[in-house]
Amino acid sequence: MCEAAISAATASLTRIAALPPEKRSINTTLLAFETAMADFSDATLPLTLMGYVYPDPTISAEGSACEEKAGMFAVSVITRRDLYDAIKNAVPRTPEESRLLKETLRQFRKNGLALPDDGLACVRSLKEQLTKLEVEFTANLNNDTSSVEFSGAELDGVPKEALATFTQTDSGVYRVTTKYPDYIPVMQNAKDVGTRKRLYTAFVNRQAEANTRLLTGAIEVRRQCAKELGYASWADYRLDGRMAKSTGTVLAFLDELKEPLREKIRHDLAALLTLKKELEPGAGRVEPWDLAYLTEQERKRKYALDDEAIRKYFPFERVVQGMFGCFGPLFGIRFAEVTGANVWAEGVKLYRIINLEDDRTLAYIYFDMFPRDGKYGHMMMVPLIAGRATGAGYTVPVTAIVGNFRAPNSDIPSLLTHDDVEGLFHEFGHALHGSLTRAPYASLAGSSVEWDFVETPSQALENWAWEPAVLDTVSGNYANPKEKLPAPLRDRIIAARDLGAGLKYTRMLVISTEDMTFHTADGPVDVTGIADRIYEDLMGIPPLEGGHEPATIGHFMGGYDAGYYSYIWAEVYALNIFARFKKDGLFNTATGTAYRHWILEQGNMQDGTELLRGFLEKEPGMDVFYERLHIRLPAADPSGKGSGLGSS
């Protein structure tokens, strides 16, 4: 199927490139190219997903192989001079066609089409090398089987519900994997510091040797590619066409955050050290493997919160239906499960999104939410079929949300923590962005927006997961669905939101700074050494000696290279969006309609800055971010430039 898709696309593209000049028009060149590549994506994205989710390792390997082939093919297409020459002189007739032409030509030029033939050949070769490195890195993490064996005594403090999900050997020893459903309960609850350190060591050393080599190689290939294309660095190359526009803007943005977050994390670490000294008299500092444990213990003490007690109020199906009930009316849609749908594994469900106004099917979403061997280990939204205008009408987009919540068993359904609920809302925000798009072109539809805008709709939706009315709607005791999350418990969950905020956002700043340091370097990069130095500088504690955490961060090789900053950047925008909903009303349908129009439907038909201005009816600002974190605003920039967030 993958080969057939490549063959079909190749034939279509060859026809476009072979057109004599007198037969070239915007229909026969630009729009034909757009259609051929959209058809190709629709055919191959579902296949490549199987590399992340399919239970049979043979089929999964085929999916990974297809991802590599499709990536290589995409590189070959976007470096074809004959296609570029056929398209570059197209004359757009509408603003929409002008936008498509501008963005299409930008991609060609960013792949070497402004270079002479030898330069183009070099860029093509480098891009092909990069695709191989990235696919292998990702496959290594997906297929990683790292685990640590512990006795029952070594797991003292870990909830029995979590213990019941661990594999036990014949001798009764527990095998704990480094996948999140195993890792998090142990890191948050195991009393034995040795247990936590051993598991943390395994976690930050997943695929250490192989992936460190692959990441280092990829950074060097990226540097060479950027230089060949005339950019000062890979970061400058990646930021061409994004909201931030320049490396300087991103570095200024990250620099602006450093001192406020240092103040915040110093406060967090001081509180955790006080608690650690109670538990371990004589303790001198907090270690990386203490952070999750001490934060969880402080959460239990200060707010009387226990994830296992909270879980019983958030059965997965109840949360999903409650989420549909909150956002459906707000955005003018409803959801219906597709019974008997063909799915790739047991437990996967398919939902249809229906327009309330005219009962029209708008999109489909798959939910694949429980762990299994060989499956992608984190959470993600995957576009499978893009929205686009065709002669037969607008296509029906298809997306998938892939997660790893605690699996149900024969007696108890899948039960979520509140963090899980927030994570589900996040991915659902991505899915709605892909599902409700009305952009006419697949390459500019849904979440195919500027990279530093792509997280805005997902992070905006997270905020609803902290609202009392929403928590009431999505909760219900699995043993008695009418029993909602008790108000005192609900209010304590909300009050605890800021616990560890300094750790959370400093961690994001650490990875963002590593990312920009890697991708602005003008020579070979020691990824582990750089990461360790930045971690200690910003976190204020030394990293694990002998750890290789960059080898475990899939974002560096999964599209977020020179783009990790966008999580914090986009959250600032998301908080601006949520502030309007708070002002107008969380479920104000007029505001929901405006949000659907300006943010969810437009795709990349306008710059993200313009879309935000359209919805907010003002410039976005940093003030909501600092207010959200209860940290003092930094002193005014005497240059008046600041981070450039609102004006970029």
Catalytically annotated residues:
427
Q: CA dist 263 to 187, 467, 629, Å?
A: 25, 27, 11
Sign of CA dihedral 429, 432, 437, 442: positive
Angle between helices 32-53 and 117-142 (to 10 degrees): 30
Q: Which residues of 384-412 are buried (b: 16+ CB within 10 A; e: fewer)?
A: bbbbbeeeeebbebbbbbbbbbbbbeeeb
Q: CA dist 46 to 50, 330, 551, 600, Å?
A: 7, 30, 27, 22
Are the C-beta atoms of residues 380 and 458 closer than 8 Å to each other?
Answer: no
Phi, psi of 361 (to 5 degrees): -70, 120
Q: Ramachandran region of residue 340, left (φ > 0), alpha (ψ -120 to 50) or beta?
A: left
How far is residue 302's CA from residue 589's CA, in Å, rounded to a whole number?
A: 37
3-class SS of residue 441: coil
Are the C-beta atoms of residues 403 and 366 closer than 8 Å to each other?
Answer: no
Which DSSP state fits 407?
P
How far is residue 519's CA from residue 224's CA, in Å, rounded to a whole number?
A: 11
**What radius of gyration do the chain's Cα atoms show?**
25
How far is residue 182's CA from residue 155's CA, in Å, rounded to a whole number?
A: 12
Q: Kindly state the tokens that stand for 593.
A: 């309609």
- Give alpha helix (H) positions in 204-246: 208-228, 234-239
- C-alpha dihedral, 213 to 215 to 219 to 222, nearest 10°: 110
Q: Kindly state the tokens that stand for 235.
A: 């970061």
Beta bridge partners, 349, equal 367
Q: Which of 242, 244, 237 is nearest to 221 (CA)?
A: 237
Q: Which residue has the tokens 């959801």?
A: 335
Distance of CA 392 to the CA centre of its chain: 33
Beta bridge partners, 383, equal 399
Angle between helices 117-142 and 57-78 (to 10 degrees): 160
Q: Which residue has the tokens 């700043």?
A: 509
